[in-house]
Structures are given as structure tokens and as C-alpha cells.
Amino acid sequence: MKNGSKNPRQGNNILVIGGTGKTGGRVVERLKTHDIAIRIGSRAGEPPFDWENPETWAGALDGMDTVYITFQPDLAVPGARKTIEEFTSQAVISGIQKMVLLSGRGEKEAELCEQIVMNAGVDWTIVRASWFNQNFSESFFLDPILVGHIALPRGEALVPYVDADDIADVVVESLLDNKHVGKTYELTGPRQLTFRQITEEIANVTGRDIQYNSITMDEYKKILGEHQVPEDYIWLINYLFTEVLVEKNSSITNDVEKVLGRKSKDFAEYAGETAATGIWNPDAS
């Protein structure tokens, strides 16, 4: 889709892969305020983009100068490295001049994908993100909150949750300003929180009774299996809980402030904003 003038400046044609997702949708909304051409990379896009169908890639990349890359379901999954390698090759052939990659903080497999982007021969920026605040309102932790009972492993793990709005703001800066070329940013929020603390904050802001129960990873995988969660998704959840929720990934960075000139959003602010939407109180009259 076009936004702004019919003849956008050279270098300002941006493909946003996952342009309807948690960060991609926010990136698109922010880019709309600039005089550039935006193309949403999704199965429903025009032209369509599908990670599982390489034949769609060239059409989505055609005429674009810059691409924001978000990979589903995660750069850590088996096969992701090969896919990113093939995609970046096609991107270079298609004339892409800059790639901004959303990566996962503390994921060794994701870092291999980062290297592919870095070595592609075009400008690049890597945005490594900690776990999102929005996992509790737009992803897999929402249903347990609605039920009022969160049962998860690794209850002692400290996570510096980062907000998707902050990620989107950093990505947009990286897409539009060449001073971020060649940089790798690790994005976190300003506070470390456990699942129990998260549960208490959401319970307080919603006025609901929401309980947290710490369980083992095996118990959690059994629950996921009983709910007919696909095996590859269970594999990914197990990977994230065992490989990513570790002490070395719990440190807090100031990269959000470094890029944006302001503090990162605290979970309490996110919780207040989200509670106001009513998503955590679906039965409220």
C-alpha cells in the first residue's frame, strides 16, 4: 500500500514482514506518518508474502529498498536458518539495500540467523528483544489470565519484559536513520519480574483474583499436550523456557533509551493501559 506522495524518495520503500503482527503492526502504524511507501508482508498482503512459500518472496520484495524481518514462529526453530539464508539471498537479488532483523535475546540459533543478515552485503541493524509485555495480552499467556489461574514452570526466573511499543519505535528509527546501520541493540524493560510478580500486578490492576502456581517443565508440556498444542509449538515453548529464561538473559540494558532518548516502558504502565482496554475483564458489564 502507498502512503504519502506517489513518488516516494529513493530508499524509502519499506517491506514490513509480519506487518499485522505484534511489532509489525505497530511499525506500520508509525511509518504511516512518514512520506514513504509501505508494503505489508503477509499471506493476505498484496502481493502476498508467505514464509512457507518462497515463490511469494520475490513479488513482495519487488520495488522495495528496505525490509523489516520478523520470522514466525521464532528464529530458534529447526529450519529457520536455512529459510533466512534463502530469503536474504533473494532480498539482495531484488535490490534490498537495508535489512532490520527482529531477533530473540539469548537465542543461540537466532544469533546464527543474525550472522546471515550481517553477511548479506547490505546495510543491517539487529534488534534483539527480551520477552514481550504483550505476551500477556496478545499471545499465549492471555488465556490463563482470563481463566484466573496461571500455571507455568521457571517461577523463579527474572525477566526484564520489554514493551512492543518500544520495540516498534526502535525498529522505525533503525529503518529510517542510517546512523543505526551496523548496530545490534538488546531491548529490555526497566525491571526484572517473575511470573508470580506479573500475576500480582495484573490481579491488582484488574481487581480480579488471579492465582499463580509454579509447575515443572514436564508438567507444563503435559498440559500443553492435553490441550492439543502442536508438537512443534511444544518444542519451541520448551526451548524458550529452558534456554532463554536463564540468568544471563535477565540483565537490564539501556538500549531503548540509547536509541529513543527516553526510558523504556515499565510493566506497570503497560498493565494499566491494557487493563483499560478491558481485555483482561471480558465479562465486565
Tens digit of each residue's pLDDT (9 = 90 or more) over 163-201: 999 999 999 999 999 999 999 999 999 999 999 999 999
Q: Could you read off the pLDDT of 30-75 as tens digits, one per residue?
A: 999 998 999 999 999 999 999 999 999 999 999 999 999 999 999 9
Under 8 Å between Cβ of 44 and 21: no
> Is 3 inside any structural domain?
no
Q: What is the pLDDT of residue 7?
A: 34
Expressed as residue numbers, the domain containing 120 is 13-132+162-188+251-264
**Residue 70 belongs to some domain of the structure:** yes
Phi, psi of 251 (to 5 degrees): -70, 155
| 168-38-29-101 Cα dihedral, nearest 10 degrees | -10
d(CA 145, CA 280): 7
* 40 neighbors 31 (Cβ within 8 angstroms): no
Half-sphere exposure of 45 (CA within 13 A, CB side): 27
**Is the pLDDT confidence value at 84 over 90?**
yes
- Please give the model's pTM, rounded to 2 decimal places: 0.93
In a domain, 277, yes or no: no
- Number of domain units in the chain: 1
What CATH number does the domain containing 112 carry? 3.40.50.720
**pLDDT tier for residue 11 given thresholds of 50, 70 and 90:** low
Instruction: Identify the band that residue 282 occupies on the pLDDT scale cut at 50, 70 and 90.
Output: confident
Tell me, yes or no, whether 105 lies in a domain.
yes
Whether the CB-CB separation of 84 and 117 falls below 8 Å is answered with yes
| Residue 140: inside a domain | no
